[in-house]
Amino acid sequence: MTIQEQYNHLEKTIRGYNPSADFSHIRTAFEYADKCHDGQKRKSGEPYIIHPLAVAQIVAEELKLDSESIEAALLHDVIEDTPAEHADVSRLFSPTIADLVEGVSKLTRIQYATKEDEQMENLRKMLIAMSKDIRVILIKISDRLHNMRTMEYQSPEKQKQKSLETMEIYAPISHRLGMQRMKWELEDLSLKYLDPVGYQEIVSRLEAKKTEYDIFMQKTRAQVETRLDELDIPHLVYGRVKHPYSIYRKMFSQNKNLDEIFDLFAFRVIVDNVGDCYNVLGVVHDIFTPLLGRFKDYIGTPKPNGYQS
């Protein structure tokens, strides 16, 4: 995909959820970033502008953020890596966008004496950034996600350092912000470099059994949906195979191999009200025998963060 095709794809994504976005400003931000980064290359040898475009794509596709966030994502490295300054971005775009870009730059710029200091200071800085404008941390997490997706071009030492930082800081914050898909991908990409043998073993086994697992999930979903249709309960049912890091963690903590892990699959039934939640529970327990001591009622006893299911 050419740079222009990548930008066109970004615009198409934004139009899908925010047709009233300021596309002239977004294009201006892209063109300004392209000009500022002219001549710069990534470790892969690609033009540097590929990275801000990819970060903006994540911000749009995964998070569906506003025009200011898209512009800030496109510009997020101009203050850090080019002669452009806060005043330039503020004048050409807006003080808010300049503050977002500078906020992301500050999180990128921190230097540390020890690994422990680095993690604690990173976390503290992120919490401060979040208190001013949550969009700073959303853009930074998107930036880290794209960097992890392209980590193969870095040295082995850098791969391990960034993966550990991602696992200990960025993935947990993504989890706390409810960005589950991004959290899963950050964890899986980190595991790929922290324990490549363990990661590859799980991925290979999952790929080898993909057809078998797909059939099992379709059958299970159909069983539940048929019974809910009979009871006339409006519902949405979907299932997934758990992601590699989740499986890895269970194997490690329980000292089991993949075939001994019970909960490889997760199914979710979404209904309209609490009463129907308990009706669905009755249906599920009627179809499948519950494991003794494994049932948790988070409706009657919500999690500390307010989660109920």
> What are the tens digits of pLDDT across the range 241-270?
999 999 999 888 888 887 777 778 999 999
* The pLDDT value given to residue 306: 80
* The pLDDT value given to residue 295: 86
Cβ(171)–Cβ(245) below 8 Å: no
- The residue-averaged pLDDT of 175-189 equals 93
The domain segmentation of the chain, as residue ranges, is: 3-194, 200-287
Q: What gap in Å lies between CA 128 and CA 109, rounded to an integer?
A: 15
CB neighbours of 181 closer than 8 A, spacing ≥ 6? 62
| Alpha-carbon 199 to chain mean position | 19
* pLDDT tier, 114 (very low <50, low <70, confident <90, very high otherwise): low
35-39, 132-136, 149-153: least confidently modelled range: 132-136
Phi, psi of 75 (to 5 degrees): -100, 5
* The pLDDT value given to residue 259: 76
CATH level 2 (architecture), domain 3-194: Orthogonal Bundle (1.10)
Q: What gap in Å lies between CA 82 and CA 296, rounded to an integer?
A: 53
Cβ atoms < 10 Å from Cβ of 236: 10
Cβ(52)–Cβ(43) below 8 Å: no
The fold of the 200-287 domain, in CATH, is Beta Polymerase; domain 2 (3.30.460)
The tens digit of pLDDT for each residue in 279-293 reads 999 999 999 998 888
Q: What gap in Å lies between CA 126 and CA 177, rounded to an integer?
A: 12
Q: What gap in Å lies between CA 228 and CA 131, rounded to an integer?
A: 44
pLDDT at 113 over 70: no
* The pLDDT value given to residue 53: 98
Active site positions, annotated: 80-81
Specify burial of residue 212 (Cβ count, 10 A radius: 0-12, 13-18, 19+): exposed
42-46, 73-77, 86-90, 304-308: least confidently modelled range: 304-308
**Residue bearing tokens 């930074």:** 140
* The pLDDT value given to residue 273: 95
The length of the chain in residues reads: 309
Structure tokens at 175: 């989890």
| 262 compared with 81, residue with greater pLDDT | 81
* The pLDDT value given to residue 305: 73
- The residue-averaged pLDDT of 178-187 equals 94
- The residue-averaged pLDDT of 206-222 equals 93
The tens digit of pLDDT for each residue in 123-145 reads 777 776 776 899 999 999 999 99
45-54, 89-98, 236-245: least confidently modelled range: 236-245
- Give the orientation angle of helix 50-61 with respect to helix 134-149, to 10 degrees: 120
Alpha-carbon Rg for the chain in angstroms: 22
- CA angle at 101 for the pair 99 and 107, rounded to the nearest 5°: 100
Sign of the CA dihedral with 102 first, then 105, 109, and 110 last: positive
CB hemisphere CA count around 170 (13 angstroms): 32
